[in-house]
Amino acid sequence: MGFPSPAQDYIEDRLSLDKQFVAHPHATYFMRSGNTYWRAGITQGALLIIDRSLTPCDGSVVVCCLAGEFHLRRFRLHPYRHFERLDDGRTERIDLETADDNDGIFGVVTHAVNDMRTLEFDDCPVM
């Protein structure tokens, strides 16, 4: 016998990373970063969560297919539609007329999960 705990109403569900990071399960892909991109906060080997159902906005980090290979780029709209390389900031114009059928934006990177055990940051702002 006994009485129920007064804290029983405050029991929370288990933490689910799927619920936290995956909004559209049928359009979500996971990839690993092959390089480190300090400008985007992505380290080599980071787990990237990509949502193919989202439309990129100005400044979104996207996975794009260029010449049959996947690349990470920042999507820019101004002063014209272009990709910005994450490693050096150079721009690449999006030319839809000469693009292959497979070229274009694969999806929008919504989250990057970095392994914090291996990160070291330099306080020196000069790179």
Mean pLDDT by runs of 10 across the 127 residues of the chain is 70 84 96 94 95 96 92 94 94 68 84 85 59
State the Cα–Cα distance between residues 103 and 70, nearest whole angstrom. 9
Whole-number pLDDT of residue 64? 94
Whole-number pLDDT of residue 56? 95
Domain boundaries, the chain: 24-113
Whole-number pLDDT of residue 73? 96
Q: Locate all alpha helices (DSSP H) within 1-127, ordered by sequence.
A: 17-21
What's 24-113's CATH class?
mainly beta
Q: Give the three-class secondary structure for 28.
A: strand
Whole-number pLDDT of residue 39? 87
Whole-number pLDDT of residue 17? 87
Residue with tokens 């892909």: 29
In sign, the C-alpha dihedral spanning 62, 63, 64, 67 is positive
Whole-number pLDDT of residue 102? 53
